[in-house]
Structure 1
Amino acid sequence: MSKLRTLVQASLNATKKAFAWNVEDLMPPAERYIFNFNSKEELKKWHLYSDSEYGGLSSASLEITESENGSSGIFSGNLSLDVSEDSKWNITRSGFCGMRSKKFDGYIDLDSYDTIAMKLKGDGRCYISTIYTENWVNSPGQQEDNSWQAFVFVPKDNWYIAKIPLARYLPTWRGNVIDAEMEMNPSRILGMSLSVNAEGGAPGAKSGPGDFRVELDWIKALRTQ
């Protein structure tokens, strides 16, 4: 009987070790690169937008710059509150620019992560980080992606790693927070954007019309818990 017990125990121990190894092996890494602004190929993943599409006079550019310390992306431009006199759009405000990623090939699954991190060097303005997820909340006739936004204050001149918990992203509709019980589905992320407004933002941040400039090294997903 003792030999049988020994064999059974040895089998159980081997199974536990195998199971523990498999779980650890399947665990995703603690961080995952989403975007890395290390080459001009990165520019193909993004497109720019601004109030100029609606008669505003703001402008933006995105380029890759190289230095002794490596490459990085520079999102810069000018924010204007003015509106073109021949605008066909009846807009009450202008003064925004953004860079939005093209849709991923399908979607990316960040269900194992809880935080978005960005390495930035800015101008003291407050930027807006947006995550676009698959439309699984709205009605079938509503084709726009769900969007979730959070403020990112970027200190001036020095590199800074901003860490934004996914729980801090709020559901929005065309820039306005939705007062509804909604929960992000991080397993179905379609794209991201970074934008800036001339007005609003975090207290103490630079605001108003004029030039803006933020340098980006990378954007990652982190598992902090």
Structure 2
Amino acid sequence: MTQEKTKWDAGRFIKTLAYFGVIPFIGSLSGLQQLFKGKAQKEKTPKPQRTGIILVAGATGGVGKRVVKKLLEKNYQVRALVRDSQRAKEILGNKVEIIEGDITISETLNENVMKDISAVICCTGTRVQPVEGDTPNREKYYQGIKFYLPEVVDIPEIVEYKGIQNLVQATRKILKRGTDESLIFDFTQPTQDLKETWGALDDIVMGGASESSIRLVENTGLFSGYVSVANSGGFASVRTRNFDPPIDLTGYTGIDLRIKGDGKRYKFIIRNDPQWDSLSYCYSFDTVYDIWITVRIPFKDLIPVFRAKTVPEAKSFDPSHITSFQLMLSKFEYDGALNPKFEAGIFQMQLEYIKAYGGKILPQFVQISSAGVTRPGRPGINLEEEPPAVRLNDQLGGILTWKLRGEDAIRSSGLTYTIIRPCALTEEPGGKALKFEQGDNIRGKVSREDIAELCLQVLEEPKLSNVTFEVKESYDLGDKEDLEKSISGLKADR
């Protein structure tokens, strides 16, 4: 039988290499650059990080401004909700999205404030100031901490309870409930970054004549083209450029594809290695003609493959370091076997999204409350041993009582949450070891800097979903423990 021949398109071959930054016989430019950097610079795998915008309410306060700064340093998208945008710009700078709003006025928590958020960190609180006439000459001390006789500026019921209710209700409209999914590519809402990520990779690189593309059509990604067996070819595909940094899907079970196909069998391919011609992990799936289906791809079912040959001795797929995705229509399955549903000619498949599934549910609402909220009126409490906020609760408009009511509004909301109850907040430098407890009995102090850092850790810690806890600076001289070890004894709220 005579093998079909056709003229090879050298121009398209060069365009393909240029798009993916590949040098023939050497590999990818990223690999070459890594070689010149030297072996000493070992690449760090990033921690999992949620997508979407983090809304920080009370962003110009003592904790809030530190939270914003730390989020920006970790490359989160941040939106600051503030009462005074001009003052916020002076405090927060120009790198953060600033929107004026007030949690005590529900109408201000509109679509512009809540759009595309993935979590809320609430650092709001009733403004407290020294009683008029209370000057530095009348300083008072408690546990070595200087303070003045305080008075409230706001109404605690409005700020600590009704304001939190408003923010929770606005958040629920957007986030609904905790989810175990993470959206990776959303073709229904294309961005410029998405458009520049995917490119065609056909058998032209091996002398073939197949040709494909991926285009944004009718709020979907349309993978289509013509697959040919001429010149010993037989595959068409689209592949992402290498992710920088690599995608970390630690804790997830697999990938979901939402697709509408043409009845043919395709492959989904993932790589852990940034090199151009490297080991890949494959999964074959069938489509149904002109019907939308969800293809579930468990990581455990991925097959290690190199150049269409299985590699049984290869190490297992590593979800923590994903460098690229690829979709392919190929004449071959694996190890020389033919694709039973392959036909040369025109093909097409539409995609709505690619997402990870089976992950652990992360907190959606992080609240900075206060230690002592359950102590006013608690039987057996010796007020002389309690911090000023507890002893002066009634004089301060029941501030702790209303904070507790605000906590209850969060706990009953249906959102996944973490409620942090810090002891007395200080301006001292951070970096201290922290002690976590439950039951609202501890006293002490803790740096605002450390609470801000804790907020970032909480965002990505599923073990703290639906947990309320108190925290203070530890006086133990031992080494600072990592968060997972420190919180090991905490239990979820009932």
- Give the C-alpha shift of residue 99 in structure 1: 0.6
Shift of 1:54: 2.3
User: Which residue in 2 is equivalent to 1:106?
Assistant: 245
Matched, 1:73 2:221: yes
Gaps of 5+ in 1: 1-27, 84-92, 136-141
Preserved CA contact (<8 Å) 1:118 1:220: yes
Q: 1:94 is matched by which residue type in structure 2?
A: G
Q: TM-score, normalised by structure 2?
A: 0.34
Q: Identify if the C-alpha distance between structure 1 residues 80 and 181 changes in structure 2 by more than 3 Å, giving closer, same or farther.
A: closer
Considering Cα pairs closer than 8 Å and 6+ residues apart, tell me whether 1 or 2 has the greater RCO.
Answer: 1
Query: Aligned runs of 1:100-179 on 2, under 5 Å?
Result: 100-134=239-273, 144-179=277-312
Residues 146 and 56 (structure 1 numbering): CA distance in 2 closer, same or farther, change over 3 Å?
Answer: closer
TM-score, normalised with respect to structure 1: 0.72
- What secondary structure does 2:204 align onto? helix
Q: Which one of 5, 20, 36 corresponds to residue 186 of structure 2?
A: 36
Give 1:53 shift. Answer: 2.3
* Letter of the 2:302 counterpart: Y
Say whether the 8 Å CA contact 1:126–1:206 is kept in structure 2. yes
Could you give the per-residue CA deviations for residues 32-83 of structure 1, whole angstroms, max 9, x where no partner exists? 01111132622211111111222211110111012xxxx0010001111112
- Cα-to-partner distance string for 1:140-182 (whole Å, 9 max, x where unaligned): xx88543100102111101000001100101111221112152
**Larger helix percent:** 2
Q: Distance in 2 between matches of 1:143 and 1:49?
A: 11
Which range is displaced more, 30-39 or 72-81? 30-39
Judge conservation of contact 2:226–2:346 (CA < 8 Å) in 1.
yes
Equivalent residue, structure 2, for 1:47: 199
SS in 2 for 1:73: strand
Task: Tell me the equivalent position of 1:138.
Answer: none
Q: Which has the larger radius of gyration?
A: 2
**Match for residue 211 of structure 2?**
59
The number of equivalent residue pairs is 179
Flag the structure with higher strand content: 1
Give distance in 1, aligned partners of 2:346 and 2:278.
30
Aligned position for 2:162: none
The 1:147/1:204 distance shift into structure 2, 3 A limit, reads closer
In structure 1, distance between residues paired with 2:179 and 2:246: 19
SS at match of 2:201: strand
CA distance in 1: counterparts of 2:296 and 2:311, whole angstroms = 23
Match of 1:189 in 2: 322
